[in-house]
Amino acid sequence: MKILLTGAGGQVGTDLLPLLLGRGDEVAAFDIAPRPAHCPDAVQWVQGDITQAPEVNDVVRAFQPDRIFHFAAILSAKGEQIPHRAWAVNMDGTRNVLEAARQFGVAQIFYTSTIAVFGDGLPDVVGDDVPLQPTTMYGLTKVAGELLGAWYQQTYGIDFRGVRFPGLINAGIPGGGTSDYALFMYVDGLRTGAYESFVEADSKIPFMYMPDALRAVLELSDAPRSALTRNIYNIAAISPTAEEIADAVRSRIPGVNLTFKSDPVRQAILDSWPEVLDDANARADWGWAHEFDLEKMSDDLLPKVKALIGSSEGGEPVPA
Ligand code: SER
């Protein structure tokens, strides 16, 4: 199968590329960044701007993918700093991808949505169909992207499907998310022996370990359309408090100093998100089930973070 991956240089795309190659897919990557050193040779890397329709059209016309995995986005914290660019990337970029799919006959668009589509006034456990009242540019553009994709399916018959990711944790460098504190506890805990989280200790949102997230993408993308009752699915794994994550790190890195000092902007974003997701529809329709809880994830993650730090030249500071 031919798959075009937008945002291929980001936190999710970087880890998905080798998996796609491993299962025999032919892969093209589209990203604003140049080809990274770690990118496997088999990947066709196209550097381009998702906000520019001709550039998106060119890559889709030339590669003729069966599916586009559309991951290019500006996340919640960074989106509040550069809201107009976030609108352009998340909104115009998504329209450009859908339009290219319509013009050049791409069968399926896989969309990555987010817990940031939710906003204030949520129930304790948040299902797929609660009112969506996001408070961030990232969240509101993702709501609109969900709706736009459904409209393209209804109007032009493009198969549009996707997941709402929780905060994602992996041995990688996250980029501009509000959920990034969790990963920094592992990375800076190992690298410098200390990390001050920008949230309160009792802050609690849904998280997921990257191998589960990647499996969700592949399983939903491959599910028969007839099994699906909706376009976009909540997927859930774990909902630890920041303190519980800190305890998992402390028990594995003796002497690490993990503290909390809330940043009002990012705390407000976090407090507007669900604490716990209900993903019953994903479990019923396409058999979604997570594998990693907090302990299993921490055991698997720490050696990988160690390797990541060892491979980076002198341990460059991680963006917060
Ligand atoms: N990880 C994302 C963020 O923090 C949420 O989807 O913006």
Q: Are residues 66 and 199 in the same domain?
A: no
* For residue 315, pLDDT beyond 80: no
Q: What is the CATH number of the domain that holds 23?
A: 3.40.50.720
* Cβ atoms within 10 Å, residue 257: 12
Please check whether residue 57 is in contact with residue 101, taking contact to mean a CB–CB distance below 8 angstroms. Answer: no
Rounded mean pLDDT of 14-41?
96
Find all residues with CB under 8 Å of 311, minimum gap 6, and list them: none
- Taking the centre of ligand 1 as the mean of its atom positions, its distance from the CA of residue 183, in whole angstroms, is 12
Q: Are residues 55 and 67 in the same domain?
A: yes
Q: Are residues 78 and 226 in the same domain?
A: yes
Render pLDDT for 294-313 as a digit per residue (tens, 0 to 9): 999 999 999 999 998 887 64
Regarding the beta carbon of 169 and ligand 1, being less than 6 Å apart is answered no
Task: State which ligand 1 atom lies nearest to the alpha carbon of 180.
Answer: 4
Regarding the beta carbon of 165 and ligand 1, being less than 6 Å apart is answered yes
- Is 281 within the bounds of a domain? no
Strand partners, 241: 204
- Going by CA atoms, what residue is nearest to atom 5 of ligand 1? 167
Q: What is the CATH number of the domain that holds 305?
A: 3.90.25.10
**Domain range for 262:** 170-206+238-275+293-311
Q: pTM for this one? A: 0.95
Find all residues with CB under 8 Å of 255, minimum gap 6, and list them: 193
Q: Which residues are catalytic?
A: 138
Q: Are residues 212 and 93 in the same domain?
A: yes
Q: Are residues 41 and 124 in the same domain?
A: yes
Task: State which ligand 1 atom lies nearest to the alpha carbon of 179.
Answer: 4
- Taking the centre of ligand 1 as the mean of its atom positions, its distance from the CA of residue 114, in whole angstroms, is 7
pLDDT at 319: 43
pLDDT at 312: 60
Q: Which amino acid is at 292?
A: F
Render pLDDT for 86-130 as a digit per residue (tens, 0 to 9): 999 999 999 999 999 999 999 999 999 999 999 988 999 999 999
pLDDT at 259: 98
- Is 302 within the bounds of a domain? yes
Separation of alpha carbons 182 and 162, rounded Å: 24
Q: Are residues 197 and 212 in the same domain?
A: no
Q: Are residues 230 and 202 in the same domain?
A: no
- Is 193 within the bounds of a domain? yes
Q: Are residues 120 and 197 in the same domain?
A: no
- Taking the centre of ligand 1 as the mean of its atom positions, its distance from the CA of residue 290, in whole angstroms, is 19
Separation of alpha carbons 182 and 189, rounded Å: 11
Tell me the CB-side half-sphere exposure of residue 143, using CA atoms within 13 A.
17
Q: Are residues 151 and 192 in the same domain?
A: no
Report the C-alpha dihedral over residues 31, 138, 103, 8, rounded to 10 degrees.
Answer: 20
pLDDT band at 20 (very low <50, low <70, confident <90, very high): very high
E strands, the chain, in order: 2-6, 26-31, 44-47, 67-70, 108-114, 125-126, 159-165, 167-169, 194-197, 207-209, 232-234, 257-260, 276-277
Rounded mean pLDDT of 250-272?
96
- Is 317 within the bounds of a domain? no
Please check whether residue 58 is in contact with residue 97, taking contact to mean a CB–CB distance below 8 angstroms. Answer: no
